[in-house]
Amino acid sequence: MVLIGKAETLLHLAKGDSSATGKQLLKLLLMVDEVFNPRNEEKDKVQKLQVKLRKNAFALIKKHKYKEAAACFLLYPSPSMVKSAASVLSQQYDNPMLSHLIMRIIEHRHLYQSFDESGVISGESGPSK
């Protein structure tokens, strides 16, 4: 869900899950939602979120929950976190194809987001006449 930009849907699903794991996921998602809220001006919270997500991901790796660890890394949209997620999936989960697929989805999502409604890459002028 995070990969395809449906983090809000995942948040709503986590709210309905009353299990211990669901509550932990909800807590993380609420924190991510708060930090990346456009009205939030606190840069310190962003740094703390990255550290907390890394700690959670490494705790999941110790429990051999590699897919969940990769998802934890992917909650924070930075190149180093994406690289960590890909590394976990490729090395620990032993699935380089899944790792490659995730990298391609993220690459495509960023390319797609850089286009405006007219089909022109944002920040560039249209074709010269």
Tell me the pLDDT tens digit for each residue of 66-77. Answer: 998 998 998 887
List, for residues 9-60, the tens digit of each pLDDT value: 888 888 998 898 888 888 888 888 887 776 666 777 888 888 999 999 999 9
In a domain, 87, yes or no: yes
- Give Cα 103 to chain centroid, integer Å: 11
Q: Is residue 68 a part of any domain in this protein?
A: yes
Q: What is the DSSP letter of 90?
A: I
In a domain, 91, yes or no: yes
Give the single-character DSSP code of 121.
B
Q: Which domain holds residue 55?
A: 7-113
Q: Give the per-residue pLDDT at 12.
A: 87
Is residue 80 a part of any domain in this protein? Answer: yes
Please tell me the pTM assigned to this model. Answer: 0.71
In a domain, 103, yes or no: yes
Report the alpha-carbon distance of residue 106 to residue 124 in Å, rounded: 22
Residue 107, Cβ neighbours under 10 Å: how many? 11
Alpha helices, H only, the chain: 7-15, 20-35, 43-62, 66-74, 79-87, 96-113
Cβ density class 69-97: b for 16+ within 10 Å, e for less:
bbbbbbbbeeeebbebbbebbbeebebee
Residue 40, domain member (yes or no) = yes
Res 117: pLDDT: 46
Q: Which tokens sit at 15?
A: 């709210």
Work out the percent of the chain whose per-residue pLDDT is above 70: 79
Q: Is residue 79 one of the residues assigned to a domain?
A: yes
Does residue 2 belong to any structural domain of this protein? no
What pLDDT score does 25 carry?
85
Please count the structural domains in the chain.
1
